[in-house]
Amino acid sequence: MLILTIYIVIFISAYVLVTMIGKHRHHQIHGFTERKTVTFGDESTVTPNRSASVISVVSLFLIWGAFTGSKLTPIHMPGPFIGDTSFTYTAENAQKQTDEGRVYVRVFKVGTEADKPELPEQTDVGFVRDDSAKVGAWRSVLIKPQRNDEGGKDKSYRVIMVDGQVISPKKKVEVADGVVSMTPKGSLSFTPSKGLQMEPIWLPAPEAVMERLIEIASQGYQNVTLADNIGWSLYRVLIGFLLGSLVGIPLGYAMGLNNWFRGWFDPIVEFMRPIPPLALIPLVIIWFGIWETGKISLLFLAALWIMTIAARAGVSGVNITKVHAAYSLGASKLQLMIHVIIPNSLPEIFTGARVAMGVCWGTVVAAELVAAEKGAGKMIIAASKFQQTDIVIMGIILIGIIGYGIDILMRLAEKYLVPWKGKS
């Protein structure tokens, strides 16, 4: 909730700020678009505001850093309490006498060594003895004050107040640097204040992820290098996609050109199309096992229907006058296929290929989550089992970047190979 609020505040204030800077700068009208008076509703005048994009990415990193206590960001949310603290408690013994004691707690960073704090010399002569405990940040510790108190083993002994506030089982009391709650059995549980930062096990700081990336890129993870992991995922996607295209494109053409093929495969394609490839994982594992055959079969199926439908749409998208023109110029059926139908369907096929590559990339990661020896998905699922959240986050970022990269490459290839797209 807090993060969302901060995010919205940044969004609005950045907008106001950028707009104000834009107004103050001497602004000249350059393009034709800027001369348009109707802009709301005219999609062609909506271009991404680049300063918004930059601020958006930077603010995401700032929020990430601020909530993880990163060294890279100037502003931090208050972190967890670290250091020595104490609180008092009041106990009542069997004789209805009360006495006050103090609990000394040392809060340390998880992963570092710490001893329990030493107790000061006791001057009080009551039945209550002071206690000491240690606890890691973001954790809690169970304190049994009755253990060293005189008469603490009596049934009617109980702690009645903490820091002067009444406490009873299942109730909580706020103390200086944390919260004390009472268990149903009457022991105390101390949780030091957590602050607003996330624990690294939930969300590591950006630099920790970066360090992991460098470490794993150079040394690998569980004896598999990063390049190997990602290479294997890409290899599977490529093989699955190529096999899917090899079968799907000719099938799509046949469905676009022949009644029998159209009739025969229409129900199959229309049935298979809405089934998400992930839903096929269990069946594919049963049929083909969990290793390469299974994964490549799954990716093949993921790409197959998309490519079939793209090729079919490419054929049906051919303008009939082009077909008529080709026949009138003396083309045979084969020549029509090679010189008109195939080139005319290429834009559709490229669109399909972009979708298929995206789906395959998503599917391969999911399939590797289920079972794999190597692969991007395998790396993050293995890391998650050891609660190595930094590796998980690093993996997710890499998967995102690679998926985006694949799409950019496909778009470049499309621009180069089918420059006539959308220009008929």
Partner 1 sequence: MTIHLASQPSSLLIDNISMNFDLPDGQTVEALKNVSIEIKEGEIMSVLGPSGCGKTTLLNIIAGFLAPTEGSVVLNGEHVTEPGPERGMVFQRGALFEWMSVRKNIGFGPAMKNTPRHQINERVDHLLETVGLQDFGEKAVYELSGGMQQRVALARCLANDPDVILMDEPLGALDALTREKMQGLVLELWKETGKTVILITHSVEEALLLGERLLVLAPRPGRIHKEYQLPFADMGVDADLRVVRKTPEFCQKRDEILAMIWEMEEEIMGRKE
- DSSP 8-state symbol, 127: S
User: x/- binding map, residues 279-318, to partner 1, per CB under 8 A?
Assistant: ----------------------------------------
Q: How many residues sit close enough to partner 1 to count as binding (CB under 8 A)?
A: 23
Residues 312 to 351: which contact partner 1 by CB under 8 A? Answer: 319, 321-322, 324-332, 335, 339-340, 343-344, 346
What is the smallest separation between the CB atom of 412 and partner 1, expressed in angstroms?
18
**Residues 327, 331, 332, 338, Cα dihedral to 10°:** -110
CA separation for the pair 251, 141 (Å, rounded): 66
What minimum distance in Å lies between the beta carbon of 340 and partner 1? 7
Q: d(Cα 354, Cα 352) in Å, to the nearest integer?
A: 5
Work out how close the CB of 323 gets to partner 1 at its nearest, in angstroms, rounded to a whole number: 9
Judge residue 133's burial from the number of C-beta atoms within 10 Å of its C-beta, 0-12 exposed, 13-18 middle, 19 or more buried.
middle
Instruction: Report how far residue 270's alpha carbon sits from residue 414's, in angstroms, rounded to the nearest whole number.
Output: 27
Q: Smallest gap, in angstroms, from Cβ of residue 311 to partner 1?
A: 16
Nearer to partner 1, 144 or 322 (CB): 322
Could you identify the residue written with the tokens 């692969």?
A: 375
Nearer to partner 1, 324 or 411 (CB): 324
- Closer residue to partner 1 in complex, CB, 67/350: 350
Smallest gap, in angstroms, from Cβ of residue 267 to partner 1? 24
- Minimum CB distance to partner 1 smaller for 267 or for 419: 419
Beta carbon nearer to partner 1, 79 or 343: 343
> With the C-alpha atoms ordered 321, 323, 324, 326, is the resulting torsion angle positive or negative?
positive
SS3 state at 67: coil
Report the candidate in 344, 275, 254 with the shortest Cα–Cα distance to residue 336: 344
The site map against partner 1 for 381-420 (x = CB under 8 A) is -------------------------------------xxx
If DSSP codes are grouped into helix, strand and coil, which group holds residue 371?
A: coil
Contact between 15 and partner 1 by CB under 8 A: the answer reads no
Whole-angstrom CA distances from 399 to 89, 139, 160, 257 are 53, 32, 55, 39
Return d(Cα 396, Cα 119) in angstroms, integer: 48
Using CA atoms, how far apart are residues 336 and 323, in angstroms rounded to an integer? 7
CB closer to partner 1 out of 145 and 352: 352
Instruction: Select 11 or 327, whichever has its Cβ closest to partner 1.
Output: 327
Residues binding partner 1 (CB under 8 A) = 319, 321-322, 324-332, 335, 339-340, 343-344, 346, 418-420, 423-424
